[in-house]
Structure 1
Amino acid sequence: MNLYVSNLPYTLTDEDLQSEFAPFGNVSSARLVKDRETGRSRGFGFVEMPVETEALTAINALNGKDVGGRPLRVIEARPKEERPPRNFGGGGGGKRGQGESWDRNKRS
């Protein structure tokens, strides 16, 4: 079962997160979500526990538990939603025709 854990202290590591859940059963992975630019924790993460009863026990025990001065929020993670592809079309006025390249010396 995949668990979503939020309201985590920013100083917490993946290993710390795993050790919070380990007393309740087998933890196959524990990872914090980090900011792409700074590499710092974003304050939430995911824990994978393969045995559902152990995961439910961990949810009941850890949801609301104070860790680093913050009450954890632990719930079952929802499946990732499919998003439509993002359109990264460039601006630029649209005066050129299809397949026509831009020439800096050409004025239109």
Structure 2
Amino acid sequence: MSIYVGNLSYEVTQDTLTAVFAEYGSVKRVQLPTDRETGQLRGFGFVEMGTDAEETAAIDALDGAEWMGRNLKVNKAKPREDRGSSGGRRGNNGGGYSQRY
């Protein structure tokens, strides 16, 4: 399970976020998603801790805490929803209708 960390400063790095969460246990992984087009951080991330107890301690301590000028939103990450196929096209003509002339 992962921890969702929202309302992050755009100046955050994996190292700084790791250091904050390391106060509550072992940090296995930190992910900071970036915008595909601009490469800029998206303002949220995910942290994986070593144990459930460490996750709970970090969530309890950091949810709502002020860090880097922002109040963090910290909770258990929800599983990613399947958004289905991209493009929204049906069949070969894009609308699901037959083309007859």
Q: Name the CA distance, whole Å, in 2 between partners of 1:71 and 1:95.
A: 54
Partner of 1:20: 20
TM-score of the pair, normalised by structure 2:
0.83
State the 1:81 CA deviation: 1.2
Contact 1:17 1:31 in 2 (8 A): no
The CA RMSD over aligned residues, in Å, is 2.0
Name segments (4+ residues, structure 1) moved above 6 Å. 94-97
Partner of 1:4: 4
Which sections of structure 1, spanning at least 5 residues, go unmatched? 98-108
State the 1:14 CA deviation: 1.2
Partner of 2:51: 51
SS of residue paired to 1:45 = strand
Report the count of equivalent residues.
Answer: 96
Q: Name the CA distance, whole Å, in 1 between partners of 2:31 and 2:98.
A: 48
Deviates more, 1:61-70 or 1:79-88: 79-88
Partner of 1:85: 85
Structure whose alpha-carbon radius of gyration is higher? 1
Q: Name the CA distance, whole Å, in 1 between partners of 2:13 and 2:39.
A: 12
Q: Name the CA distance, whole Å, in 1 between partners of 2:88 and 2:2.
A: 32
Partner of 1:67: 67
Q: Name the CA distance, whole Å, in 2 between partners of 1:31 and 1:14.
A: 7
Q: Residues 8 and 96 of structure 1: is their aligned pair in 2 closer, same or farther, counting only changes over 3 Å?
A: same
State the 1:83 CA deviation: 2.0
State the 1:64 CA deviation: 1.0
Percent identity reads 43
Partner of 1:36: 36
TM-score of the pair, normalised by structure 1:
0.78
